[in-house]
Amino acid sequence: MKKEYVSEKTADGQTYYYMYVGSETHGRPTYIMWISKRFLQQDEKGRYYLEFPVKNCTIKQGKKENTLILKKGDSNLYNILIECGYRGGSTIDDVIADEPVQVFHYKVYSSPRGNTGISKGALILTTANKVKVKWSRGGRLYGASASGITILYADGKKEDLYCVEEEDLQELKDEIETEA
């Protein structure tokens, strides 16, 4: 499970909660996501945070392209960030699920202009309880894998398969089933 702390804004006596998603040129966020308080949890210091994956939610796009509103619904929201290597980049090649998915891609610059690397991330909204994400990355990786598949589960479990292709994984799975 991944915790993301949120910020508060008060107007007309109401408190609204939001978080920045992504960090592009000079720290500008890709999205500003406004969050219903029902999804927030409080830590021992009284700070609110959002824990991914978020269950029973939906995302509505605001009037501006970079505004998202997280409200009650019937989907699951997953968050994944693929860290890039030094002076490199990362890509999310494919998102695979049993149900239709809605993907909100974002970038995280490692420096104000992205010269030391640009990582890619995604908010994935779907009714499926499992999502596979195929990814790759470049740059100076210092021994880290250049590609892989990450499987995210609705209960918060995460599995990483490095340097393996989907076809090889399916062939191995078929071989195991024939032995059984």
Flag whether pLDDT at 173 surpasses 80: no
Tokens of 117: 């690397």
- Strand 158-162 and strand 118-126: pairing? unpaired
pLDDT computed for residue 121 by the predictor: 97
Flag whether pLDDT at 85 surpasses 80: yes
Per the structure, the complete domain to which residue 128 belongs is given by: 2-179
Structural domain count, the chain = 1
DSSP state of 143: T
Which of 59 and 26 is assigned the larger pLDDT? 59
Amino acid occupying residue 119: S
pLDDT tens digit sequence for 69-79: 999 999 999 99
